[in-house]
Amino acid sequence: MKRALVTGSAGFVGRHMEAELLRRGWVVDVCDIDDRAGGIDAHDVFRVHTLRYDLVVHCAARSPHRAAIDLQPGIMPYNVALDAAMFSWALRTRPYRVLYLSSSAAYPVGLQAGIVPYRLHEDDVVPDLRVTADLLDALGDAGKLAPDGTYGWTKLAGERMAAAAAAADLAVHVVRPFSGYGTDQGTDWPFGAFVDRARHREDPFTIWGSGHQVRDWIHIDDVVAGALAVVDADERRPVNLCTGRGTSMIELATMVCNAAGYTPVFEPRPEAPAGVAYRVGDPSRLNEIYRPRVALEQGVTRAILEGLPA
């Protein structure tokens, strides 16, 4: 019987990953940061654990949400050290495969300014930048190659560690989730916050930023299934987990409130952390392996209905 380790199993992606692997018949061990998952701390696993796994799914990270990305730079050394500990341990214990959860935050912010609506391709991550000089000229001052905040730098560092581990003959798969969402998502993330506000029928309904910032929303079921499809296909190149469809925060809030059956006044908060203007992925590489199945409208309705009193 196949055995997997899921790190970050108390988090949104980790707990869904654990559930899907169990559904597929795997034996699953779990750990998290600060011993949140059954008292098992990932750092302890990486120091002393010697079991050889068929698959290690590394989801663990501290505070990977917008407020922390913009306001908590101190999470960067923690997350880099966590990734380094995992890869060092993996090189010692030699799991059959490692699935590393990177992030769309790794992409250059200059390509996400919204001046030119642009689908981010896997090769756009520095130093593999494939964008043309004409595109960078069109972006002008927005043509910055830095990733999104300290979290983006963390994931770039993690991907470099993944590449080094791969060069040492470890089978490593890297996926870059875009805006994952789902019914049980916490309120630190926009989708979870919007659903919570709609359930409480808040009016006015606050939206961080202008509300016009665009994201590529992908349901957690498709994040998990797409990531595991990358492993099953033995795809060693990074793969976007995305749909290619852009939806603004105001459009998402409207969907959520319509599903909840009320029409509030939307109140933008331009002073709040908002992130880049336009973050949409190119799903071409993913679609060679897997096509997302949950439409955004379906995911919104499911989240609202499952959270309402019977």
CATH of the domain at 122: 3.40.50.720
Q: Please report how the helices 220-232 and 12-23 are oriented relative to each other, as an axis angle in degrees rounded to 10.
A: 60
What pairing do the DSSP bridges indicate for beta strands 205-208 and 55-58?
unpaired
Backbone angles phi, psi at 296, to 5 degrees: -60, -45
- pLDDT, position 308: 54
Residue 91 belongs to some domain of the structure = yes
Lowest mean pLDDT among 69-83, 190-204, 264-278: 69-83
Residue 210 belongs to some domain of the structure = no
Select, from the ranges 34-43, 73-82, 287-296, 297-306, the one with the highest average predicted confidence (pLDDT).
287-296
- pLDDT, position 310: 42
Single pTM value for the model: 0.91
Residue 194 belongs to some domain of the structure = no
Number of domains in the chain: 1
pLDDT band at 141 (very low <50, low <70, confident <90, very high): low
Read off the pLDDT of residues 233-283 as tens digits, 9 standing for 90 and up: 999 999 999 999 999 999 999 999 999 999 999 999 998 888 999 999 999
Residue range 121-135: mean pLDDT, rounded: 72
Residues 196 and 304: their CA atoms lie apart, in Å, by: 9
Instruction: Determine if residue 296 is left, alpha or beta; phi over 0 gives left, psi from -120 to 50 gives alpha, anything else beta.
Output: alpha
173, 228 Cβ separation under 8 angstroms:
no
Percent of residues, the chain, with pLDDT higher than 70: 87
Read off the pLDDT of residues 209-229 as tens digits, 9 standing for 90 and up: 999 999 999 999 999 999 999
- Bond from prior residue into 292 cis (ω within 30 degrees of 0): no
Residue 165 belongs to some domain of the structure = yes
Entry field: residues in the chain = 310
User: Over the chain, what is the mean pLDDT?
Assistant: 90
Q: What CA–CA distances, in Å, run from 208 to 7, 252, 259, 282?
A: 30, 13, 21, 25
Residue 237 belongs to some domain of the structure = yes
Residue 128 belongs to some domain of the structure = yes
Higher-confidence residue: 36 or 65? Answer: 36
Higher-confidence residue: 220 or 36? Answer: 220
Q: What CA–CA distances, in Å, run from 98 to 17, 86, 101, 163?
A: 14, 10, 10, 12
Residue range 60-66: mean pLDDT, rounded: 69
Residue 212 belongs to some domain of the structure = no
- pLDDT, position 68: 47
Q: Which three-class secondary structure string do you get for 111-134?
A: HHCCCCCCEECHHHCCCCCCCCHH
Residue 186 belongs to some domain of the structure = no
CB count in 10 Å sphere of residue 130: 10
Residue range 107-119: mean pLDDT, rounded: 89
pLDDT band at 127 (very low <50, low <70, confident <90, very high): low
CB count in 10 Å sphere of residue 106: 24
pLDDT band at 145 (very low <50, low <70, confident <90, very high): confident
Q: Which domain holds residue 80?
A: 3-181+218-243+282-293
